[in-house]
Amino acid sequence: MNNKVAFEDLGIIDYKEAWDYQEKLFSGIIDIKMRNRVNPENQEATPNYLLFCEHPHVYTLGKHGSEENLLANMLELSNKKATYYKINRGGDITYHGPGQIVGYPILDLDNFSPDIHKYVYNLEEAVIRTIAEYGLKGGRLDGASGVWLDPDDPARARKICAIGIRSSRWVTMHGFAFNVNTDLSYFDLINPCGFTDKQATSMQKELGRDIDMAEVKVRVKYYLGKIIGMELA
């Protein structure tokens, strides 16, 4: 088991470029696991990665999502300088853009805990503990992934972090989108994560001020490492 995780902050990067990079790392881990399976006497340690980035305005639809949750046509997206991709993660439609911390853990969960539900719970927990340091109380909404504020109040429940992952042979990709200083008007063009009666929010909106992105990244990274058991490099 290898709990070492290579961390990389990609800065602002085109969504497709980041997706291709994820696929390359993801496939590399899968290839090692397949070789280990056919050659048990010569086992290779599988690497792990954690990528942080921000994307230019983009909407992504998960493999089980509905295009009806995209409320804009291609011309309207172009006018908003936004792109659109159908992708291979779980979940429905979401938005990525500047001011949002997007995290892509590409992990071999055999190095940690091979339990997808626990893994998603741990991603949520890292964000919940991060926003708690700013006086925000996050929680979980029954039947929905991600981190919510006021999840027990249907009239006020709002999402501050979306989660959608892909896994194969216990290797993960995609991850979370955490709204820090995000322009929330872009969520008006979708039913976020398929919900027609729930809103998105951000740390900036809740606290009434701009938030230091670098500071938040440090805290999210710390809690991810602590909760999942990653030795981050």
- CB–CB of 55/133 below 8 Å? no
| pLDDT, tens digit, 9 for 90 and up, residues 69-106 | 888 888 888 888 999 989 888 778 889 999 999 999 99
What angle in degrees, to the nearest 10, is found between the helix axes of 213-228 and 116-132? 140
Mean pLDDT of the 213-218 span: 98
The CATH H-level superfamily of 4-232 is: Bira Bifunctional Protein; Domain 2 (3.30.930.10)
| Cβ count near 36 (within 10 Å) | 15
Short-list 104, 194, 71, CA closest to 141 = 194
Assign 162 a pLDDT band (cuts: 50, 70, 90).
very high
Is 193 one of the catalytic residues?
yes
Q: 193, 200, 224, 228: which one is catalytic?
A: 193
The rounded distance, in Å, linking the Cα atoms of 4 and 155 is: 42
Q: Which residues pair with 212 in a beta bridge?
A: none
- Residue 33 tokens, joined: 């696991």
Q: From the CA atom positions of the chain, what is the Rg in Å?
A: 18
- What Cα–Cα distance (Å) separates residue 29 from each residue in 9, 43, 45? 20, 13, 9
pLDDT band at 197 (very low <50, low <70, confident <90, very high): low
Q: How far is CA 224 from CA 9, 21, 52, 58, 126, in A?
A: 15, 21, 12, 25, 5
pLDDT-above-70 percentage for the chain: 97
Amino acid at 28: G
